[in-house]
């Protein structure tokens, strides 16, 4: 995927400025609301699967990209400084096998909500084109975690090889801890008229997915056996948004 760079944002701003209206002054007490298409591109880096306390070299996972609806609201403390809350509809990401787990394909999926509360500095509050930068705190809530049969077979197959014993079946439950992290952004607002404007925004968010796997299976005697595994993935996505906004 081609990353949206500050140069790309600036080029888009210059093109769009040819059709914009005269600038409206931005003042303390103003509110901005933006809504638009948001593309989440994880820059995932996975640790090894830890099976019953033993790290299995090369057994890793990755998280796929997703397009969704994002929105945010900004309140201005002064013409230059604003406080922003980023929200979104739930994003659902597939979790795929990587390296030794690639052959298993999709391992499961999870939904998440990644709200960010941050502070922004707007460089040109009285201009038609208003670039800004920001930083804040992210809290990511994971829910509706699910696994596929490929993950269940993979865990059971690992047990067979690691313990030299045959196991059958395998119902694996996945849970992912919520995550706190830093977030950074750069963007630009471009006036269309007194109320409406275009927005282009790029963010980098620190998100860690600490996953726990509990596999229920059976040995050759029919006795139930429980295996516990963990898998830590640094998702760290780029979040790219193209939106329309209005001032009130």
DSSP 152: H
- The DSSP H or E segment spanning 244 is strand 238-247
Please give the average per-residue pLDDT across 165-188, as a whole number.
86
Q: Which residue has the higher pLDDT, 191 or 12?
A: 191
Q: Which residue has the higher pLDDT, 12 or 38?
A: 38
Residue 189 lies inside a defined structural domain of this protein: yes
pTM for the model stands at: 0.81
Distance from C-alpha of 3 to C-alpha of 5, rounded to nearest angstrom: 6
- The DSSP H or E segment spanning 189 is strand 179-191
Residue 165, pLDDT score: 64
Share of the chain above pLDDT 90, in %: 58
Which CATH number is 121's domain given?
Answer: 2.40.160.20
**Range(s) of the domain holding residue 238:** 6-247
Q: Give the dihedral sign, CA 83/35/176/66.
A: negative
Residue 99 lies inside a defined structural domain of this protein: yes
Residue 1 lies inside a defined structural domain of this protein: no
Other CB atoms within a 10 A radius of the CB of residue 168 amount to 11
pLDDT one-digit tens code per residue, 193-248: 989 999 999 999 999 989 998 888 877 777 888 888 899 999 999 999 999 999 99
Please give the average per-residue pLDDT across 80-86, as a whole number.
97
Structural domain count of the chain = 1
Pick the range with the lowest mean pLDDT from 8-22, 49-63, 98-112, 170-184.
8-22
Residue 88 lies inside a defined structural domain of this protein: yes
Judge contact between 93 and 63, C-beta under 8 A: yes
Q: Which residue has the higher pLDDT, 31 or 154?
A: 31
Residue 67 lies inside a defined structural domain of this protein: yes
């Amino acid at each position: 995927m081609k990353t949206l760079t500050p140069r790309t944002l600036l080029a888009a701003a210059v093109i769009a400025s040819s059709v914009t209206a005269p600038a409206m002054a931005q003042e303390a007490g103003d509110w901005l609301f933006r809504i638009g298409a948001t593309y989440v591109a994880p820059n995932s880096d996975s640790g090894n699967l830890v099976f019953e306390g033993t790290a299995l070299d090369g057994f890793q996972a990755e998280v796929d990209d997703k397009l969704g609806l994002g929105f945010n609201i900004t309140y201005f403390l002064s013409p230059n400084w604003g406080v922003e809350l980023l929200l979104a509809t739930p994003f659902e990401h597939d979790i795929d096998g990587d390296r030794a787990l690639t052959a298993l394909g999709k391992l499961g999926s999870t939904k998440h909500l990644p709200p960010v509360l941050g502070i922004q500095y707007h460089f040109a509050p009285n201009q038609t084109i208003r670039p800004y930068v920001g930083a804040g705190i992210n809290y990511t809530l994971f829910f509706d975690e699910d696994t596929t049969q490929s993950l269940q077979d993979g865990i059971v197959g690992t047990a067979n090889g690691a313990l030299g014993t045959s196991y059958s079946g395998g119902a694996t439950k996945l849970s992912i801890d919520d995550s706190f992290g830093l977030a950074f952004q750069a963007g630009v607002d471009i006036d269309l008229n007194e109320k409406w404007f275009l927005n282009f925004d790029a963010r980098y968010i620190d998100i860690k997915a600490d996953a726990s796997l509990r596999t229920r299976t059976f040995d050759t005697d029919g006795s139930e056996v429980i295996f516990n595994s963990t898998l830590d993935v640094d998702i760290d996505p780029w979040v790219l948004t193209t939106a329309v906004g209005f001032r009130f």
